[in-house]
Amino acid sequence: MTTHEHYTLAAAEYLSRLRWRNVQPTTMRNYKSVLDAFGAFLAEQPTSRDLYGAVSAWQEQLLSAGKTPSTVRQYLTTLKIFFDKATKRSFPEHLRFAENPVDTDEAPKAVTRPYEELLTDEQAASLFANTPPSFRFQEHWPRTYAMLMLLLNEKIRNAELLDLRLCDLDLIHHELTIESGKGRKYRVVDLCELSETAVELYLTAGIRPAYLPDDAPLFGTTAAHRYGAGRTDGAEPWHRGSSAWISSLVERVVYEKTGVHDIRTHDLRHIGARICLNAGTSLEQLQGELGHSDSKVTERYSGRLLQRRRRESAKAVLDARAAAAAENRAALRRLAEQDEDSVLYIA
């Protein structure tokens, strides 16, 4: 049995065990994607090449293809977890590997991102405007815009946004219930007017099918894709989107509005925290909004943001946010005048 055949059978056994453990579908897709990618690379290698050399060569190929160091490190970590399991005695003996060929200590280190320099306050304020981008799928802009506003204003995590359900919204009391994937904890945050109006405009746009139950994903998709952003052709039922799907949308929108590349969804959480701190929000209040169980985490998270406390600049950002909310509210009133049934209010 060749190294590639051995790896293919072992990877299939590992994925089968993950399914048996009822691992989340998104996690399954991500693991399978990485394992398949390395398997395809391994198939092209000389049969004499050992696994250590193959892993090292794959790392170099990923970097040469333009993958960021943090992405390459994530791929290698996933591969290392697989080999860790495949070297244990509990793994079938005929598929077991003698040792783990992945050393993440040699993986490229992620470059530290200076949070206060990701976007200026002026660039962050430009994201508030409800103006569709020029790229394709503009008909789904209300959904993208609502997601963008919640990431920036309510400072929620990527997975928390994707897990949101219609029943988590309370537009009467202007609150949002968030379930954190970190320990299945819940927190309730205030829903700012801009985010609230963005969500209302999204719900009136008809993108989310009206027949869906309240516990269905709020920001789902019907895109037919194996993982990541694919063709939005309605080929599948409404389902939870992937992290790659929303990350692709956010990165393209932020680039078009600000000209800044490589802004991740989690970066918007940091940018939103910086705006709050510059506006005078206390660390205790910020801790609750971010969902940190330990205040030390919030201090480490926001320490660098406190270095530039530009209250005047933060006030300009908040004024821009209020102006965008007023424009959205006016758009909702116009819709209500055109069709009394067009606006959906959620208790």
For the cut 90, the answer to whether the pLDDT of residue 84 exceeds it is yes
Amino acid 165: pLDDT: 94
For the cut 80, the answer to whether the pLDDT of residue 257 exceeds it is yes
Q: Strand 185-190's sheet: what is its strand order?
A: 169-170, 175-180, 185-190
Residue 64 vs residue 116, higher pLDDT: 64
Per-residue pLDDT averaged across 10-35, rounded?
87
Mean pLDDT score across all residues of the chain = 83
SS3 137: coil
Amino acid 341: pLDDT: 53
29 burial type by CB count under 10 A (0-12 exposed, 13-18 middle, 19+ buried)? middle
pLDDT digits (tens, 9 = 90+) for 175-217: 999 987 555 678 899 999 999 999 999 999 989 998 999 999 9
Confidence of residue 244 (pLDDT cuts 50, 70, 90): confident
Buried-exposed string 227-251: b where 16+ CB fall within 10 A, e elsewhere? bbbbebeeeeebebbbbbbbbebbb
Q: What is the largest CA-CA distance in the chain?
A: 73
Least confident of 48-52, 81-85, 232-236, 329-333: 232-236
Confidence of residue 112 (pLDDT cuts 50, 70, 90): low
Read off the tokens for 185.
């904890």
Amino acid 199: pLDDT: 96
Per-residue pLDDT averaged across 24-32, rounded?
82
For the cut 90, the answer to whether the pLDDT of residue 97 exceeds it is yes
Amino acid 347: pLDDT: 34
- Of the options 3.40.50.1110, 3.40.50.720, 1.10.443.10, 1.10.10.60, the CATH number for the domain spanning 115-338: 1.10.443.10
Comparing CA positions, the residue from 193, 205, 121 lying closest to residue 150 is 193
| Cα Rg of the chain (Å, integer) | 23
Least confident of 53-67, 104-118, 272-286: 104-118
Q: Where are the domains of the chain?
A: 3-106, 115-338
Amino acid 345: pLDDT: 44
Amino acid 214: pLDDT: 93
Residue 260 vs residue 342, higher pLDDT: 260
Read off the tokens for 40.
């395809």
φ, ψ of residue 117 to 5 degrees: the values are -115, 5
Q: Which residue has the tokens 């510059």?
A: 278
How crowded is residue 144: how many other Cβ atoms within 10 Å of its Cβ?
A: 22
CA dihedral 292, 297, 300, 305 (to 10 degrees): 10
Buried-exposed string 92-105: b where 16+ CB fall within 10 A, e elsewhere? eeebbbeebbbeee
Per-residue pLDDT averaged across 248-265, rounded?
88
For the cut 90, the answer to whether the pLDDT of residue 340 exceeds it is no
Query: Which runs of E-coded beta strand occur in the chain?
Result: 169-170, 175-180, 185-190, 220-221, 239-240
Per-residue pLDDT averaged across 11-39, rounded?
88
